[in-house]
Amino acid sequence: MTCFKLYSFMAILAMVVTMANANKFKPSCYKHSCPNVEKISKEITEQFVKNDPTLAPALLRMNFHDCIVRGCEGSILLDPTPSNNETEKDTVPNSTIRGYEVVDAIKAELEKQCPSVVSCADVLSLTARDAIVAINGPYWHVPLGRKDGKISLASEALANIPSPFANISTLKQNFEAVGLTSKDLVVLSGAHTIGIGHCFIIQRRLYNFTGKLDTDPTIEPSYAEYLKYKCPQSVSDRESFVPMDPISPPVFDEKYFSIVSQGKGLFQSDAALLDDDYTKSYLEYQVSYYGATFAKDFAESMTKMIQIGPLPGAELEIRKTCRVVNNYY
């Protein structure tokens, strides 16, 4: 039983409709078919995040990386199989994603209480929200009623997930391609107020930015020295990392905008927000007014993002387990 409806829509120049899905999904979708869905997600997610608070940014990132590729239909959750051994989760952009066990635990409990009703895509959107709330971040309503996709391609993840090396033009194109605006770009980038960045991603920016053994000149000098101390040139493993927000790393607040405005954005994609009049002005506004609208804006942009629809003609189902399609066994 599901309240999902498949609406047809045009994909023009790689654009997909997002807000057209506003009437397609609704928070009350499972009111009768699985009334405890939000309670189950909240309780299980809170327990995981209580034991490991670093799962909060990880789950949020997983949700974004899922929605930006093929829409919010859980394709990032699929494991490789003998016939499909290069799924989204095995690509470089997703190689450091964590938290799949949280989604698995929630889905397993839901299958006990209301089998084959709640999609893995809905579970992922719920647990991302609940994880952020568990660390005192903003709350947003999660419209429900998604179905799960059957396809997960590494090539699509590589092509569509915004790169930490991207300039502002490329970032805006990435977001516009799925119906998100420049405001959504800068607001959702604010999620970097929590979480970590791995040293291997910033090595070139620190030590060989233009191929001349130089450092990216847009990095504030003292911050560059701090990063080099934390990420020495000899480090190439994926266990070395630094907080994306060096001011208040565990707190979901507006400090990210302060550090970016000071030339202390960890990634090139963070620094790129200063290269656009709108994104720069938004940064400066949040800095000047102590994040006055950030929590509200973030909730609105997340609500919009998680309504990115599946690709036209996508074959969909409600998976029984989130790691494989139903006909796998």
List, by residue number, the catalytic residues: 65
Helical spans, DSSP H, in 182-276: 182-189, 199-207, 221-230, 255-261, 268-271
300 annotated as belonging to a binding site for a ligand: no
Neighbours of 170 (CB within 10 A): 14
Residue entry with tokens 């909060």: 56
Q: Which backbone phi and psi does 168 adopt, to 5 degrees?
A: -65, -35
Q: Which of 181, 193, 192 is nearest to 305 (CA)?
A: 181
* Amino acid type, 46: E
* Amino acid type, 199: C
138 annotated as belonging to a binding site for a ligand: no
69 annotated as belonging to a binding site for a ligand: yes
83 annotated as belonging to a binding site for a ligand: no
For residue 207, the number of C-alpha atoms closer than 13 Å in the C-beta half-sphere is 15
81 annotated as belonging to a binding site for a ligand: no
192 annotated as belonging to a binding site for a ligand: yes
Q: 3-state DSSP call for residue 243? A: strand
Q: Which of 146, 64, 133, 55 is nearest to 101 (CA)?
A: 55
**Residue 276 host element (H or E):** none
Between CA 181 and CA 18 the distance in angstroms is: 11
104 annotated as belonging to a binding site for a ligand: no
**Residue 137 host element (H or E):** none
71 annotated as belonging to a binding site for a ligand: yes
**Known binding positions:** 66, 69, 71, 75, 88, 162, 192-193, 245, 253
**Known binding positions for Ca(2+):** 66, 69, 71, 75, 88, 193, 245, 253
**Known binding positions for substrate:** 162
**Known binding positions for heme b:** 192
